[in-house]
Chains A and B, each alone.
Chain A
Amino acid sequence: MDLKQIYREIVNEHNLHPGHKHDLISPTYVLEGVNPTCGDDVNIQLKLDDKGVITEASFNGSGCAVSQASSDIMMDQIIGLTKEEALRLVDTFMAMVHGTVSDEELETLDEAAALQDVAHMPARAKCATLAWHTLEKILKEE
C-alpha cells in the first residue's frame, strides 16, 4: 500500500479521532518514550489489576500522525491482555517491522498489521514503533 493510502485508510481516523488519547486517573505505570531524531514524545499510562491484566490504557504527548495512530491502535489491542500477552504482541509487532513475521502471527496483530508497509519505510519505522518500544520497556522493567 502506498503511503497516501495508508494515511487515508488507517492513520487519519486514529490520528484525528483517537479513542485513547487522555490521562488516566491514578495509573499503575506511566512512562515517556522519546524519538530523538524528531523530538516527538509519547506518554503511556497503564492500569493493571492484581492479576496482572491491563484494565485501562491511554497515551498522551505530541507526535506525527503515524506515531499517534500506532499508539491508539496499540491501546485498542492491549486492553484486557495480561502482561505476558501484551509482551507477546509487542514481539509480534517488532517481528513485523523486521520482516520476520509469519502469516498466522500477523493475523494476531489485527488492525496493527495495517501498519506493516509504513513500518517498512526506513524514515518512518521509528514513528510506528515508538509506542510499542515504550510499552515493552514498561512491562519488562517495572
Chain B
Amino acid sequence: MDIKDIRADFPILSDERYIYFDNAATSQRPRQVLEAVADFYKTTNANPLRGLYEWSVGATEAYEKARVKVAQFLNAESETEIVFTRNATEAINLVAYSYGLYNLHEGDEIVISIMEHHSNILPWQMVAEKTGAVLKYMEYDEKLEFSDEELSKITDKTKLVAVTYVSNVLGVTNPIRKIAKLAHEKGAVVVVDGAQSTPHKKVDVRDIDADFYAFSGHKMLAPMGIGALYAKKKLLEDMPPFLTGGEMIELVTRDSATYAEVPHKFEAGTVNAGDAVGLAAAIDYINDVGFDFIEAQEKKLTALTLSAFKDIPYVTLYGAEEAERHSGIVTFNIEGCHPHDVSSVLDSEHICIRAGHHCAQPLLKYIGVNATARASMYFYNTEEEVERFVEGLKRVRGWLGYDV
C-alpha cells in the first residue's frame, strides 16, 4: 500500500506545510467518508425510523446498515448489541446512569485504573457518590503493567470494573481479557473504554469478553458526533433507558410508557443517521487499509521518533521503550520548557501536537508531572513528517532562551 495514495484521499493533508500529530485527539477524514455523509443528505435524507415513505425507509436502511457494520467491525454477536451515541464519553455515561445507578449499592466497589481518561473516571465518581459505592484505583508498575497485587483489588465486593484498552497518554495496551476474566470470576461487569484502541487495532469484543465497550467515531476517520456503545444483549434488555423521548417507546399513555426493543430504547430523539453512514464509510476505509498496515506504519513512525529522542539529552519520554507498545502515541517533555510553549513554538512551524494534561489529571499526578507534550501519529503520517517534527523539536529550547 502506497502512503502517497492514502494521503491523496485526505483533502486536509494536501497542504504539506502542516504536520498533523494530534490524532489521539481526533483523526482526519478521507473524502470517502465526507462524500458518504454528503450523499446521504443529497439522496435519501428523511427522519429515520418514523416515516412510511420511500426516503424515510431509505434513511432507516442506511442507519441500520451502519449498525450492522459496527457490529461486524467489533465482532459483536448481533447488531442489536450496538447503541449509537455521540461519542465514547456519552456511551460510558449511558452505562453509568442506566447500569451503575441501578446495580450498585452502598459498600459495593468500583475498580478502575489510574490510566483512565476523565471520561472513564467522572461517571464512576458520580455513581459512587450517589450509591455509596467505593471507587478504587489499580496502579501500574515500572513495566507499565498491573501486578497481581493491584489486580487483587478486584474482589467479591467489586460490582464493576472500568478500564481503558489503550491509554491516551502512555499508548500502552492493557490486558482486557485477563481483567475481564478476573472480574467475571467475582461477578463484576467490565466496561472498556475503546476510544484509543478502536482506531489502531482489531477489536473483538467477544474475545476480550467485554460487557460494555465504548468508542468514538471521530478518532477513526468518521465525523464528530457519532460513536457507539457495545453491550451484551442481556444487560441492555435489563437496563432502563438513559434518555427518554421520541422513537424509543412501544406505547405511551398519559401517565406511563413501555419502551421499544433494544437498542432503540437507548436512542431517544432523532438519531444522527448522516454521521452513522459516515462511520460505516470510515470502517470500510479502515478495513481496506487493514490493521496490519496501520499497526506496521504506526510502529515504524514511533520507532523513528523514539530513536531520535535517544539522541536528544533533554527529552523525557513517558511510556514504554518498545515502539510497538505505543499505538502511535508518544508523550514527552523537554527539560526547562513547559509543554504549552513547546506546542506553540512547533505551531509556528505548522506542526500540530497536543500539550496539557490530556484529560487524565490523576494519571499525570501519578507520573509526577503537571503537563506533557504529546505527538500522536496515525497510518497516514510519514517518516518525513517525523524527521521534520524532530528537527523542529531540537530548535525549541533555543527559541525559549536556552543555549541548546
Residues of A within 8 A of B (CB): 2-4, 7-8, 12-13, 15-16, 37-40, 62-66, 121, 123-124, 127
Contacts and interface: CB of A to CB of B under 8 A. Distances in A.
B345 A4 contact: yes
A124 B339 CA distance: 12
B355 to A, nearest CB: 7
B401 A39 contact: no
B348 interface: yes
Given A63-B338, A66-B341, A16 B401 contact: yes
Residue of B339, B356, B371, B401 with most partner-chain A CB within 10 A: B401
Contacts of A66: 340-341, 344
Given A2-B348, A8-B399, A39-B371, 13 more contacts: A4-B399, A13-B401, A15-B401, A37-B356, A38-B357, A39-B364, A40-B370, A62-B338, A63-B338, A64-B338, A124-B340, A124-B344, A127-B340
Contacts of A13: 401
Interface of B: 337-341, 344-345, 347-348, 355-357, 361, 364, 370-371, 399-402
A37 B118 CA distance: 13
29 contacts: A4-B345, A7-B341, A7-B345, A7-B400, A7-B401, A12-B400, A15-B400, A15-B401, A38-B357, A39-B356, A39-B357, A39-B361, A39-B370, A40-B370, A40-B371, A62-B338, A64-B338, A64-B340, A64-B341, A65-B337, A65-B338, A65-B340, A65-B400, A66-B340, A66-B344, A121-B344, A123-B344, A124-B340, A124-B344
B404 to A, nearest CB: 14
A8 B401 contact: yes
A43 to B, nearest CB: 13
Nearest to B337: A65
A75 B10 CA distance: 49
A22 B233 CA distance: 60
A72 B348 CA distance: 25
Contacts of B402: 16
A16 B398 CA distance: 13
B344 A3 contact: yes
Contact of B401 (A3, A12, A63, A123): A12
Contacts of B361: 39
A16 B339 CA distance: 15
A62 B402 CA distance: 19
Residue of B338, B355, B364 with most partner-chain A CB within 10 A: B338
Contacts of B370: 38-40, 62
Nearest to B340: A64
B339 to A, nearest CB: 8
Contacts of A127: 340
B306 to A, nearest CB: 25
